[in-house]
Homo-oligomer: A and B are copies of this chain.
């Protein structure tokens, strides 16, 4: 239950204060690499029989974090399975954030055309202000001419 709360709370926090796409991409790649190396070493320490050396641990970690999961190496003890759960959730976060980063880049590319059009509109709006100035000046001149004749 507590673990679900942590997942939910950190996810909600992420959504309300989203980091920049580049920062998020950087963080997730580094975090995932750290999780692979760290959990590989941890598994070796927890279960000497299944994990003959650290490389077996990392081999297990990389296939778990990418959700491939061959099953040629699997944790049997409860402690190892708890570690595995975190590696699996890291895998989901990895896939989700990588996909989200690439998607938002594609979407931003697509909306670049919009940005150009918008800048054109802004230029048009600014030109209109110049037109207003011109009309103003002409009206002032007209009024001056009218009053000039009266005097």
Residues on A facing B (Cβ under 8 Å): 4, 7-8, 11-12, 14-16, 18, 20-22, 24-26, 29-30, 33, 55, 59, 62-64, 66-72, 74, 78, 81, 84-85, 88-89, 91-111, 114-115, 117-118, 120-122, 124-129, 131-132, 134-136, 138-143, 145-147, 149-150
A122 to B125, CA, bound (A): 10
The distance from the CB of A65 to the nearest CB of chain B, in whole angstroms, is 9
Could you say which residues of chain B place their CB within 8 Å of the CB of A98?
11, 92-93, 96
B97 touching A102 by the CB < 8 A rule?
A: yes
A136 with B135, Cβ < 8 A, contacts A68-B64, A100-B103 known: yes
Complex Cα gap A68–B149 (Å): 92
Contact of A26 among B8, B18, B94, B126 (CB under 8 A): B8
